[in-house]
Amino acid sequence: MWILRLNMTDRSYKFEDVPESYAMLGGRGLTSTIIYDEVDPTCHPLGPNNKLVFAPGIVTGAASPTSARLSVGGKSPLTGGIKESNAGTSFAPAMAKMRLKAVIVEGKPEQSGEYWTVMISWEGDKPKVEFMPADEYTGKDLYEVFPQIYERFGKKIHVCGVGTAGEFGYANSGIAFNDMKKRPTRYSGRGGLGAVMGSKGLKFLLLNAEGAPGVEYADQEAFKVAAKKLQVALNEHAITKPKGGLNSYGTAVLVNILNEAGGFPTRNFRTGRFEGAAKIAGEAIFETNKKRTGKEVYNHACSPGCVIQCSNTLYSESGDEIVSCIEYESAWALGADCGIDDLDAIGELVRLCNAYGLDTIETGVSIGVAMDSGMIPFGDVKGAINLVHEMGKGTPMGRLLGGGTGMVGKALGNPRIPAVKGQGMPAYEPRAVKGIGVTYATSTMGADHTAGYTIAPEMLSVGGTSDPLASDVAKADLSRAFQMTTAFLDSTGHCLFIAFAILDIPSGFEGMVEEVNAMLGVELTNDSAVALGGEILKRERAFNEAAGLTKVDDRLPEFMKYEPLPPHNVVSDLPDEVFDKVYGEM
Amino acid sequence: MATIQVEVWLYGPLAHYGGSDDNISAQVYCDLPVGSCMQDLLDVLGMPTEERGITFVNGDLSAMPGMHPDLKHELHAGDRVAFFHMKSMWPFQYRHGVKMAEEFTESMGNREDKGLRSTFEK
């Protein structure tokens, strides 16, 4: 396997052997370690000294279910700290099959405004790299450009690119990857990594894996056994099985639930319940599609080999596609958080975010703050659509909004900024869901709903001080355990949604760890796998500390301490010691 | 006989128990004798308890799929009760620290896993 370095200053490249110290790493573990090892934490995220790292997971490209995740890492222009954001896309297994352990993008063109396409294809016995001008694709809608790229480079390529948001250097820009229908809809959305890619003049990174040898297994037979364990667990579990919860209703099945719990942030986190929630929920998407298409439309896979298949598509009255996909967080950010209950309008807002290369969460939360500040009224669909256009077209107002939630609140003089470390808070109100608040506050990524997604089965019978029902302090222990296990899972290349099956069906967790062992020829136990996740977090934390983030940044927004959240009328009341304990005892 | 009125939300395929055929949601108001409990409400709706998953009373979590410790929970005038279908899901990390009904808290506390799982088969 190789590590490929792309130097965007002089458009040169270099293949390097994988250092021994990186042998056990993949996905997030590898991107974060390379950033920790090679990037000056005090550098400007959009300057020449930041790096952008792409890495498929450890088992990505192998015959394993739901494992096509690609991690992208760098110093975040949104948080000022380390960032890993991963996406499910065919790009990930293609990269693994070309035996590219990581691609590191360095430098930047001396002339600003130059954009390049880099094509990596297989030739002979190793990948071949070509740089080509990409200026003709800049300033355009990604839905328009992606077909042009496929037309020019062939249908079998895999596409990664940035939209105008990345070109403008927005802190709310994402990196777009192709989905199974070659649309620009799979995103490494969070943290502004699109701007890092754009700052390097890299408009498109393309792969053509035809002829590539595929992944190498240390023990292919053992891998098959391990992957089968995981597959069985995924197929058995009520949430992950075909026509189960995620396959039917997608992640937006959570809308009504969080709403009833009083934890569905509404109108820039003013209340925890939205009167229009049922209209924008997964159930409504499923039934609206059924009515409009005349059949039950179950969700599809975002990437090859996924058995969960949770990605939805919203169809119009005429049966045409409005957009794919409306995730829970997107339905919330561009819906309830902006006081919008029009499903088709939300679909259009998501489509525009995809077209311009914007993170739906950061964009929605930023518009929510703008609405809360009186720029336009809550519920103003046309106004919201116009603001997204302003971002995409780079008007002065759009450039301000593209700076992200914190920037918008500061510019508009609004102290109600729902963000941690500058990153807009996702769709779970931490005053009502206090456990997620601990993870939001302490994650190395800023407010991130995916940072603490799963836990090892061994930790279920935690008891004592770790009893989640017993004490606030236990929330710190649990958040740490969640974050460690998740950092490992993010390194495997598996999607977080295997968490349901690997938690509830212990053989599933074993299967995941045994896959890694069979792939790498190591002997991790469940415990040592989680410990490996802890090591990854320590590196991320050390980078952040060197970048200037301190424990004072591990806090929820102040307004949540003094504004009670209806309907439960709860405030953020966890003592600072709880937040400090998460990393203080690691 | 003195009665109370409760507001009921039924989501997804459960909506038909509230008279809606859209499979999205139904909101109904039910009159019950004073002192009625969750089981009484289910009887009025004609909904077997096995068909419901996540359940709330006034935003407090009272049941999960396969775990219904709230059948004897007394309802009061003005309560808002919400029922979810069995395909609904709610990962632990997104419900950790939410308000829970007393019976549900007790039931979770008696479990070795403290409720960290997503399914709770009997």
Q: Inter-chain contact B99–A567, Cβ cutoff 8 Å?
A: no
Q: Which residues pair with B56 in a beta bridge?
A: B61, B82
Domain shared by A382 and A512, yes or no: no
The Cα of A583 is separated from the nearest Cα of chain B by a number of Å equal to: 18
Same domain for A197 and A87: yes
Put simply, whether B28 touches A (Cβ < 8 Å) is no
Q: Phi and psi of A261, rounded to 5°?
A: -75, -10
Question: Is the complex ipTM more than 0.95?
Answer: yes
Could you tell me if A552 and A471 lie in one domain? Answer: yes
**Are A469 and B108 a contacting pair at CB < 8 A?**
yes
Segment A107-157, tens digit of pLDDT? 999 988 999 999 999 999 999 999 999 999 999 999 999 999 999 999 999
The shortest C-alpha distance from B94 to chain A (Å) reads 6
Instruction: Indicate if A353 and A484 belong to the same structural domain.
Output: no
Residues of B in contact with A433 (CB under 8 A): 94-98
- Report the pLDDT value the prediction gives residue A185, as an integer from 0 to 100: 98
Report residues of chain A scoring pLDDT below 50: 462-465
Q: Are residues A393 and A441 in the same domain?
A: no
A396, A424, A452 - which closes a domain: A424
Q: Does A328 touch chain B (CB under 8 A)?
A: no
What is the average pLDDT score of chain A?
96
Please give the tally of structural domains in chain B: 1
Domain of residue A102: give its range. 2-208
Place of tokens 């096995």: B50
Cis amide linkage into residue A567, ω under 30° from 0: yes
Same domain as A183, residue A126: yes
Top residue of B23, B89, B102, B112 to mutate, by most chain A CBs within 10 Å, is B89
Confirm or reject contact between A450 and chain B (CB < 8 A): no
Domain boundary among A185, A208, A231: A208
CATH number at residue A26: 3.60.9.10
CA A496 – CA A513 distance, rounded (Å): 14
In a domain, A233, yes or no: no
Q: Are A533 and A491 within 8 A, CB to CB?
A: yes
**A137 vs A206: CA distance, rounded Å:** 14
Question: Pick from A244, A454, A568: which is nearest to B87 by CB?
Answer: A244
Query: B93 CB near a chain A CB, below 8 Å?
Result: yes
User: H-helix or E-strand containing A367?
Assistant: helix A360-372
Which of A273, A283, A570 lies nearest to residue B24, judging by beta carbons?
A283
Q: Which segments in chain B show pLDDT lower than 50?
A: 122
List the beta strands (DSSP E) in A318-383. 321-323
Residue from A249, A275, A283 whose CB has the most chain B CBs within 10 Å, to mutate = A283
The domain that contains B96 carries what CATH number? 3.10.20.30
Chain A nearest C-alpha distance from B24 (Å): 5
Give the model's pLDDT for residue A562. Answer: 98
A257 contacts on B by Cβ (under 8 Å): 54, 84, 88, 90
Chain A residues whose CB is inside 8 A of the B94 CB are: 254, 258, 428, 433, 436, 449
**Residues of chain A contacting B105 with CB distance shorter than 8 Å:** 469
Using DSSP's 3-state secondary structure scheme, residue A429 falls into coil
Give the gap in angstroms from C-alpha B93 to the nearest C-alpha of chain A.
Answer: 6
Residue B78 lies in a domain: yes
Domain of residue A350, CATH code: 1.10.569.10
Judge if A320 and A172 occupy the same domain: no
Each residue of A10-28: pLDDT tens digit? Answer: 999 999 999 999 999 999 9
| A380 and A490 in a common domain | no
- Strands A202-208 and A116-123, by their bridges, are parallel
| Shortest Cα distance, chain A CAs vs residue B1, angstroms | 31
Which residue from B minimizes the CA distance to A280? B24
Q: Does a structural domain hold residue B115?
A: no
A460 with B22: Cβ contact below 8 A: no
Residue A237 lies in a domain: no
**Predicted pLDDT at A462:** 44
Residue B122 lies in a domain: no
Phi, psi of A442 (to 5 degrees): -105, -15
Residue to substitute from A256, A459, A465, interface B, most B β-carbons within 10 A = A256
B121 lies in a domain? no
User: What residues of chain B lie within 8 A of the CB of A428, using their CB?
Assistant: 94
Query: Which tokens go with A212?
Result: 């590539």
**Stated pTM of the model:** 0.97
Residue from B11, B85, B107 to probe the interface with A (highest A Cβ count within 10 Å): B11
A388 and A473 inside one domain: no
Residue B30 lies in a domain: yes
Contacts of A452 in chain B (CB under 8 A): 93
Residues of chain B found within 8 Å of residue A272, distances taken between Cβ atoms = 59
Please report whether residue A170 resides in a domain.
yes
CB contacts of B93 in chain A (<8 Å) are 435-436, 439, 452-454, 482
Residue that is written with structure tokens 């005038």 in the block:
B77
| Cross-strand partners of A226 | none
pLDDT digits (tens, 9 = 90+) for A341-377: 999 999 999 999 999 999 999 999 999 999 999 999 9
Residue A396 buriedness (CB in 10 A; 0-12 / 13-18 / 19+):
exposed
**Surface of A (502-561) touching B: CB under 8 A:** 503-504
The count of other CB atoms within 10 Å of the CB of residue A472 is 16
Domain boundaries, position B72: 3-109
Peptide bond just before A160 cis, omega within 30 deg? no
Which chain A residues touch B82 with a CB distance below 8 Å? 256, 260
Collect all residues of chain B within an 8 Å Cβ-Cβ radius of residue A463: 112, 114
Number of structural domains in chain A? 3
Residue B10 lies in a domain: yes
- Position A242 in a domain: no
Residue pair A517/A525 in contact (Cβ under 8 Å)? The answer is: no
Judged by a CB distance cut-off of 8 A, whether residue B120 touches chain A is: no
How crowded is residue A35: how many other Cβ atoms within 10 Å of its Cβ? Answer: 24
pLDDT in tens, A30-61: 999 999 999 999 999 999 999 999 999 999 99
**In A, which residues are within 8 Å of B86 by CB distance?**
238
Start-to-end CA distance of chain B, whole Å, equals 37
Are residues A488 and A542 located together in one domain of the fold? Answer: yes
pLDDT (0 to 100) of residue A6:
98
**A450 and A322 together in one domain:** no
CA distance A237 to A257: 20
Q: Collapse the DSSP code of A425 into the 3-class scheme (helix H, G, I; strand E, B; otherwise coil) and give the result.
A: coil
Q: Could you tell me if B110 lies within 8 Å of chain A, comparing CB atoms?
A: no
Residues A475 and A573 in one domain: yes
Q: What is the phi-psi region of residue A262: left when phi exceeds 0, alpha when psi lies from -120 to 50, beta otherwise?
A: left
Query: For position A459, what pLDDT does the model report?
Result: 64
> Where is B31: in which H helix or E strand?
strand B25-33
Residue B64 is classified by DSSP as: B
Q: Contacts of residue B106 in chain A, CB cutoff 8 Å? A: none
Residue of A nearest to B59 (CA): A261
Note whether residue B23 is domain-resident: yes
